[in-house]
Amino acid sequence: MDYKKIISKYNLDRTRLIELLKDIQAAEGYISEKAVAEVAKAFRISIAEVEGLISFYHFLSARPLGKYVVYLNNSITSEMAGRQEVALAFEEEAGCPFGKTSSDGLITLMETSCIGMNDQEPAALINEVIFTRLNKEKVKKLASWMKQGKPVQEMVEEFGDGANSHELVKAMVKNNIRKSGPVIFDDYLAGTAIHKTLETSPEAVIDEIKKANLLGRGGAGFPTGLKWELCRKEKGPEHYVICNADEGEPGTFKDRVILTERPEMVFEGMVISGYAVGARQGILYLRHEYSYLKKYLENILKKMREQGLLGKNIAGRGFDFEVEIKMGAGAYICGEESALIESAEGKRGEPRDRPPFPVQKGYLNMPSTVNNVETLATATRIMANGSNWFRAMGTSVSAGTKVLSVSGDCDRPGIYEVEFGLTIDELLKMAGARETFAIQVGGPSGQCIGEPGFSRKICFSDLATGGSVIIFNSSRDLFSVVANFLDFFIEESCGWCLPCRAGNVLLKKKFEKIIKGTGTRQDLKEIEAWGKIIKTTSRCGLGQTSANPVLTTLTNFRKLYESKIVKEAEFISEFDLITAVAEACILTGRNFQEENEHV
Amino acid sequence: MSDKIKFTVDGQEGLAEPGQTIYEAAKANGIYIPVLCHFEGLKPVGSCRICSVKSNGRWMASCTQPVTQGMIIENMTPEVEEYRKALIEMLFVEGNHFCPACEKSGNCELQALAYRYQIMVPRFPYLFPKREIEAFPKFLLEHNRCVQCQRCVRGVQTEDGQKIFALHERSNNLRINVDRQLATEMSNEQVQQAMDICPVGAILKKEAGFRIPIGKRKFDYRPIGSEIEEKE
């Protein structure tokens, strides 16, 4: 393998190191020791650092992988839709368990966190191609094709709706837009917002966005106009505009649909933001799971250049702005803005300490804004239709609409663009949900709500959400939901800070004690206390919300927990003698339980 | 000096230079805030969170957070101290720490913090992770004792800034990975520096063990933090 040739393509640009490693992996199937050494030498960094980078990302591999790598989603909705049967079928066909490669080196089976297909589970990535609604039969068919050596793309038999069937996408993914609204999914004439924007001053643009009261759609709800203003005020040779398309919160897939159906609005939003903050360069950070959209999006950018909406002298008004697409490599934490910036710089996606904030020192230590896909598309509509039009929708605090990704137990899972202020009850009715027992709003890091909370409203002052809404009916076991979410956070913690790295593991252990039926009141108290320690002392938003699955269910479903514990006992030891000596018993051939005089 | 920053820690007033972190400012005023991952002269990373303090209802790591004008900081309050104690306990159950058999005993900052916080038994269950001991020509890396503080990552590099120690993997699998080639080229002084910079007994210079007997080591004389508290 001629690594030098691949390396030379990247001009020793450190910010493109992840891309380079992906390139090597695409050519060789993995990143060999030799490749690592060559890369390290060229970039004058240590081998250990390159190894550290590879090991951080789920989709980079330093060990050989099969020709076909199956990444089966293990999110809760995938479980609910029959993931286990699909997983067993894959294992049977490949003849190896998950985490391993078949003996003939053909198929590698891997688990992966939510891939943004929650409304069409069980779903998997095979290499970079998405397969949805899998079942036993489909797995058998896929496996037989793999054994015939069929290219993965050719295994996609039917394309999804809308742009999913576009020549450059050709994905079986479905949009499932159940309710389109006036802000995002209404018709949009390309260029309208850019023309209006460039007719006014950057300050006036910021003013308009502020007047619209646009709050960040990623979930945190930071005022977008203020963010742009703060960034504009910072001095620096360059400013950067970053679009966060790393939606990784389990249950969220609305950015995927926005990027499929309204990419122009997102890119125009970046141009508008660039004009407002004084940037010449924008970066769309796209999660690896959405690689299938890359060529399509690049083509949209090309078209925008041809239309004079991007590049030099945009709309003939002397404003230059470019957009580059940077791919992620599989890490939920990269949805956190400072971790995203680190990753965009070609490093491990570990969050930074704040201050300085990204608007002060962001990408390459230059003032940068990081905005969610939906936020930018919304900014475009605001510039086209005006802030008054926008503010007339939603509530006084939360203006406009929100795109929700609805999945789980309902007849119509998919995308809903609704005005802020919608109640959970109304949403459940819209989605065709029956006998709803619980609803997870805002993904695992959000809240789990029971029936008494169904009159609550979706808005920033009540139930804030980045878009993820997962519905559970009364047949579901809430404890397995919580367990799945806790596992997710354990897996996706970057490990940098102690409370998130170790605390989540300890919390899960304690939670398992409750599930096992050996929990006591004291254990419930400790769950609350430990959860609070993790929440309070963690370094970034991941650790500050990772205890939410258990904390919010403990608050809202107290009775369920009470029914699981042993009420009369004050303390039950976690230590179980029989289990502890089981291995020794097998080795010595003695049956401990029969000789229970030792107890 | 009007550009000095006024702040208080548990009611005690202090003056700080602009740009100082809460930890640095407190230290300069003779106030001890416990730290573990932080090391003088290295860029702070805020990984152990033991230096957490509370100000205006918000929690923050004092090693990374800059002190600001008029800041009112809670440091030795029962609430803050309880959280710190929990974090120290967490470190003990996360790794495999057997003090009596450890070369660093008496010089170990984790052990010293445990004494200071009078930890008898951790509230958390031991995780007993399976970890390795790696050998290099001049030193051992005892992963069982590593607390992922990144001091070696930051403090021990080659002349041209290459990382000899680097973070590897993520989540609870996070560990220190050593560049074999660069480790072989380390000088004796550099190995000694690596051992000294490590707060626990994870990096051990070969053929240098137990030169100072247990009982005559740093924290055998004075508890951790007393060098700051006794300054005034």
Q: Tens of pLDDT along A502-513?
A: 999 999 999 999
- pLDDT level of residue A573 (50, 70, 90 thresholds): confident
Q: Tell me the nearest-neighbour CA distance from B46 into chain A, angstroms.
A: 7
How far is A74 from A122, CA to CA, in rounded Å?
8
Whether complex ipTM tops 0.90: yes
The tens digit of pLDDT for each residue in B5-41 reads 999 999 999 999 999 999 999 999 999 999 999 999 9
- Is B105 in the A-facing interface, judged by CB distances under 8 Å? no
Q: Whats the size of chain B, residue-wise?
A: 232
Q: How far is B199 from chain A (nearest CA, A)?
A: 15
Cα–Cα distance measured from residue B118 to residue B121, given in angstroms and rounded to the nearest whole number: 9
A111 interfacial to chain B (CB closer than 8 Å): no
Contact between chains at A498 and B123 (C-beta distance less than 8 A):
no
Report the DSSP beta bridge partners of residue B53. Answer: B60
DSSP string, A540-552: SHHHHHTTHHHHH
Where along chain B do its domains lie? Answer: 5-75, 85-221
Cα–Cα distance measured from residue A508 to residue A517, given in angstroms and rounded to the nearest whole number:
14
pLDDT of residue A584: 86
Given a cut of 60, whether residue B1 has pLDDT beyond it is no
Q: Is the pLDDT of residue A21 over 90?
A: yes
A390-415 b/e (C-beta count within 10 Å ≥ 16 → b):
bbebbbeebbbbbbbbbbbbbeebbb
pLDDT at A365 over 90: yes
What pTM did the predictor assign?
0.96
* Minimal Cβ distance to A490: which of B52, B66, B171: B171
Task: Nearest chain B residue to A530 by CA: give it.
Answer: B86
**What confidence score (pLDDT) does residue A599 get?**
45
Q: How far apart are CA A224 and CA A231, in angstroms?
A: 11
Average pLDDT over residues B132-159: 97
Q: Which residues contact A88 (CB under 8 A, 6 or more apart)?
A: none
Instruction: For chain A, give the number of residues.
Output: 599
Reading the block at residue B102, the tokens are 């450890």
The arithmetic mean of pLDDT across residues A519-526, rounded, is 96
CA dist., res. A479 & res. A476, Å (int)? 9
In chain A, the domains with their CATH numbers are: 3-56 (no CATH), 68-157 (3.40.30.10), 178-391 (3.40.50.11540), 401-476 (3.10.20.600), 479-564 (1.20.1440.230)
Taking every pair of Cα atoms in chain B, the longest distance, rounded to a whole number of angstroms, is: 55
pLDDT tens-place string over residues A120-133: 999 999 999 999 99
- Find residues 174-213 of chain B whose CB sits inside 8 Å of chain A: 174, 177-182
Mean pLDDT, chain B, rounded, equals: 96
* Cis bond before residue B66 (omega within 30° of 0): no
Chain B CB within 8 Å of residue A146 CB: no
Cβ distance A48 to B177 less than 8 Å, yes or no, reads yes
Fold (topology level) of B5-75: Ubiquitin-like (UB roll) (3.10.20)
